[in-house]
Amino acid sequence: MNEYAVEISDLSKTFISIRRRAIVIPVERTRVEALKSVTLNIPKGQIYGLLGPNGAGKTTLIKCLATLVLPTSGTARVNGYDVLKESTYARASMGVCQGNERSIYWKLSARENMIFFAKLYRMPHDEARERADDLLGRMGLLEKANEKVENLSHGMRMKIVFARALLHDPPILLLDEPTQGLDPTFATDLRRFIRDELHDRTILLTTHYMHEADLLCDKIALINEGELKSLGTPKELKEEVRNYDSLHMKVVGSPDIESIRAMDMVMTATSTERNGHSELVVTAEDGYELAYRLLNIMHQTPGVKVEHFEVKEPTLDDVFLKLTGRRIED
């Protein structure tokens, strides 16, 4: 018996868009490599996180596995089934939750939505209803079961979208940003559900919330510009920057990021500007020494004033920064 629930081998996807003149004459061909030879094997019963910024290729990878996008090259197997050649079996083996509240019927009630999708998995009506009520109950939505989806809150809709993925009790779950845009209470509820109730499933979870990946995942794959940069447990990944401190500094004005990067002790440095403020994240072996030297430079720079600074333990974002030179939330 194969030990992997999901096997991805050298998977690539290139999107080609053609700009045409007069509808038919191609004038420009743009190639976007959304996935570049991705190889990833997920053992049964493990939760793997796919962490990366927007546009990193997370959703494309999920869609290739969900048989919604055809890969350009490489292979992918879900529950042992090739997603191209045995796509029906692959689809029957997985539940897919895309973080989109519009992916259920707003004119139907929560229960009607669940029963409809359950019947597409060939459940008889009574069983479909029982299963729908069970899942809605576990999501804390049983009281709202007869309410039309259009009258429910965003968080409740997302819970229905999530519960739908579990209707046929699939051994494999593909969760694409399941908590995106949820308020903290709903997001915490969903994370608790994933951690406590789905521990016997194989889950591939995409997220750009580092703490979510840190909390839920057995292993995390960092992805950027279609390439897997690193794979390991959250602890292993943080080990990669164990010897570094991360200095977070909030300043008024725009400090010269290039001169900071040029400092001999600086490993990485990024700056994000918002409303006249800059948020600097700089890594170095000794965060306190770095803070001392940086504060001196800032004091001497006209128009720049330090409002707040803090030396932090390394996070997954720091790992990502070290590997890619950019932050996950960029």
Interface residues for another protein in 229-258 (CB under 8 A)? none
Among 98, 206, 246, 268, binds another protein (CB under 8 A): 98
CB contact at 8 A, 171 and 93: yes
Q: Residues in contact with another protein, total (CB under 8 A)? A: 53
Rounded to the nearest 5°, which phi and psi values hold at 231? -140, 130
Per-residue tokens: 118: 């359950």
Among 107, 235, 242, 274, binds another protein (CB under 8 A): 107
Distance CA 230, CA 222 (A): 5
B/e letters for 72-104, b = 16+ CB within 10 Å, e = fewer, are eebebbbbebebeebeeebbebbbbbbbebeeb
Q: Does 168 bind another protein (CB under 8 A)?
A: yes
Shortest Cβ distance from residue 207 to another protein (Å)?
19
Residue with token string 């997954």: 316
Q: Does 108 bind another protein (CB under 8 A)?
A: yes
The nearer residue to another protein, 70 or 295, going by C-beta atoms, is: 70
Stretch that binds another protein, among 110-118, 230-238, 251-259, 279-287 (CB under 8 A): 110-118
DSSP letter string, 201-263? SEEEEEES-HHHHHHH-SEEEEEETTEEEEEE-HHHHHHTTTT-EEEEEEEES---HHHHHTS
Among 10, 37, 105, 180, binds another protein (CB under 8 A): 105
Distance CA 244, CA 228 (A): 23
Interface residues for another protein in 14-73 (CB under 8 A)? 15-16, 34, 44-45, 60, 63, 66-70
Among 19, 106, 236, 256, binds another protein (CB under 8 A): 106
Interface residues for another protein in 180-219 (CB under 8 A)? 200-201
User: How many other C-beta atoms lie within 10 A of the C-beta of residue 57?
Assistant: 25
Q: Does 131 bind another protein (CB under 8 A)?
A: yes
Binding mask 295-314 for another protein (x = CB under 8 A): --------------------
User: How many other C-beta atoms lie within 10 A of the C-beta of residue 254?
Assistant: 14
Among 1, 22, 25, 27, binds another protein (CB under 8 A): 1
